[in-house]
Amino acid sequence: MSVLVPIRIAPAGGCTDAPVLRERGQHEVFCGLTGIIWLHRKIQDAFFLVVGSRTCAHLIQSAAGVMIFAEPRFATAIIDERDLAGLADANAELDRVVQQLLARRPEIKLLFLVGSCPSEVIKLDLARAASRLSTKFAPSVRVLNYSGSGIETTFTQGEDACLASMVPALPATSTDAGTEILIVGTLADVVEDQFNRLFRQMGVDGVKYFPARHADDLPQVGSNTRFLLAQPFLADTSKALQQRGAKRIAAPFPLGIEGTELWLQAVAEVAGVSKTRFEGAIAAPKQRASAALARSRPLLEGKRIFFFPDSQLEIPLARFLARELGMHLVEVGTPYLHRQNMAEELALLPVGTALSEGQHVENQLDRCIAAQPDIVVCGLGLANPLEAQGLTTKWSIELVFTPIQGFDQAADLVELFTRPLVRRMRLAA
Ligand code: SF4
C-alpha cells in the first residue's frame, strides 16, 4: 500500500512572512447575530433567543427573510425602556419568556440565549441565566449562551462564539478510543453529504461533524480527536477544542479544486489512506470541477479584485481566484489574521499580495477607488456607494449563505464572481 506523502505547499512560502498593513479605524461590518441564519438551519432542533432590542429583531427578521407565519426557530426577547431604566427585573422577565417558549415549542432540545449590544449595555448576565435555566429544564432542554453583539465584531464571529459555547458540553472520548476525525464548522447538508460520500470512497469511516444536524448528536472530544476546520473564522472554537485535548489537522480550506483536494488529502493522511485510493476517490468530482472552471476562466483571467475585510473568507477566496482563475489581487483585507489557522493559505497566496488586517474604512475606500479594480468584495453597506462610483461589487455575506465548499460547488463559487461582471458588461454594452 502506497501512503500519501505529507502535504507540501508552496516551497517559496507565498505570503507566509509577507508584511501586513494593520488598520484601526471605523469599520463597516454586520454583527454576529447574522450567524443565527445559517446555524438555525443546520441544527434542526435548536432555538436561538436573541436578548436584544427591536433593531436586533429587525436585523434577524430581514436577514432571514422568513414569513411571520413560518414559526422560525429564532426570536428576540425585546429589552424595552423599563428594562433599560432598571425598572423591571430583566432576569425574571427572561425566565418568563423562556418558560412560555418551551411550553409552546416542546420540540426544542437546545436553546441558545444570544447576547446583543443592549443586553451587554444593561449587563444582563446571560451565562448565569443559561445555567439557571439549564438546571430548571434539564434533561429535556440544554440552555447555552453566547454573544452576537456587534460592537467590535464581524458577522462570522457569531458562529465561532456559538460553537465555542458548545465545546464544554461535548462528551469526552474514552481513553482507549482510536483516532477520531471531526469536521468543524457549519456546512450545508448537501456539502456534508458529498464529503461523506468521498470519505466512504476513501475508506474513511466515522467522520463526525460539529455542529451536527441534531442537538443531541454531540461529537465526543478528547486527545484522540483530530479536527479539521471547514470554515476559516473559528479561532475561538479551535482554541476551545485544543483545550479539550483535540489536535488541529493543518490544511487550507475546501474552496476551489486545489483547496478541496488538499483539505481532503489532510484527512487521508491522518487516516492512512493510500495514494491510489485517494486519487481514485476524488478523480470524478475533480474532473467535473476542472471542466466547470475552464469554462469560467476566460471571464475572470487577468481581472483585478479588491477585498474589503468582512467575512474572514477573504484569504482562501483570494487564493482560489488567483491560483485557479488567474485573477490579480489588488488588496486582500481581512478583519483578523489568525496566522496559525491561515498558515497553509498564506503559503499559497501569490508572492507580493497586498494584505491588510482590520479596517480604516475611509483609507481603504480611497485605495480601492484609486485602484479601480474590476470587482470589489465588500459588505452590504459599502456595495451601493461603490456601485455608484461605477465599480462592480459582490456582497461578501452571499459567500457565507451559499454552499461553496467542495468540488461540486466550485462552479457555483466561481459564478458568484462572474455574474456581477457579466451584468456590468451587459449594462455597458
Ligand atoms: S449591532 Fe447590536 S444592536 Fe445592532 S442588531 Fe447587532 S446586536 Fe443588535
- Determine the pLDDT at residue 249: 97
Q: What is the pTM of this model?
A: 0.93
Say if ligand 1 is within 6 A of residue 52 CB: yes
Residue 304: burial class (beta carbons within 10 Å; 0-12, 13-18, 19+)? middle
- Determine the pLDDT at residue 86: 66
27 falls in which pLDDT band (50, 70, 90)? confident
Q: Which residues, other chains included, contact 148 with Cβ-Cβ below 8 Å and sequence gap of 6+? A: 31, 32, 33, 34, 35, 36, 50, 114, 115, 116, 158, 161
C-alpha dihedral, 230 to 242 to 116 to 129, nearest 10°: 130
> Measured between alpha carbons, how far is 167 from 146 in angstroms, rounded to an integer?
12
C-alpha 151 – ligand 1 centre gap (Å) = 8
C-alpha grid cell for residue 421? 461582471
- Determine the pLDDT at residue 360: 93
Residue type for 271, please? A
| Three-state helix/strand/coil letters over 112-175 | EEEECHHHHHCCCCHHHHHHHHHHHHCCCCEEEEEECCCCCCCCCHHHHHHHHHHHHHCCECCC
Residue type for 382, please? L
Tens digit of pLDDT for each residue in 160-196? 999 999 999 999 998 778 899 999 999 999 999 999 9
- pLDDT at residue 1 above 50? no
Nearest CA to ligand 1 atom 3: 117
C-alpha 80 – ligand 1 centre gap (Å) = 14
What domains can you pick out in the chain, each with its CATH number? 20-27+292-428 (3.40.50.1980), 32-153 (3.40.50.1980), 180-275 (3.40.50.1980)
- Determine the pLDDT at residue 11: 44
- pLDDT at residue 2 above 50? no
- pLDDT at residue 3 above 90? no
- Determine the pLDDT at residue 352: 94
User: In DSSP terms, which residues pair with 394 in a beta bridge?
Assistant: 377
C-alpha grid cell for residue 290? 476542472
Contacts by residues 382-386 (CB-CB < 8 Å, ≥ 24 positions apart):
382/28, 382/308
- pLDDT at residue 85 above 90? no
The closest-lying atom of ligand 1 relative to the alpha carbon of residue 59 is 5
What whole-number percentage of the chain has pLDDT above 70? 94
Stretch (H or E) spanning 183: strand 180-184
- pLDDT at residue 65 above 60? yes
Say if ligand 1 is within 6 A of residue 185 CB: no
The closest-lying atom of ligand 1 relative to the alpha carbon of residue 150 is 1
> Measured between alpha carbons, how far is 52 from 117 in angstroms, rounded to an integer?
7
Q: Check residue 374 and report its DSSP letter.
A: S
Tens digit of pLDDT for each residue in 288-319? 999 999 999 999 999 999 999 999 999 999 99
Across the range 101-129, mean pLDDT stands at: 94
The closest-lying atom of ligand 1 relative to the alpha carbon of residue 60 is 5
84 falls in which pLDDT band (50, 70, 90)? low
The closest-lying atom of ligand 1 relative to the alpha carbon of residue 149 is 7
> Measured between alpha carbons, how far is 57 from 55 in angstroms, rounded to an integer?
5
- pLDDT at residue 7 above 50? no
Across the range 206-226, mean pLDDT stands at: 95
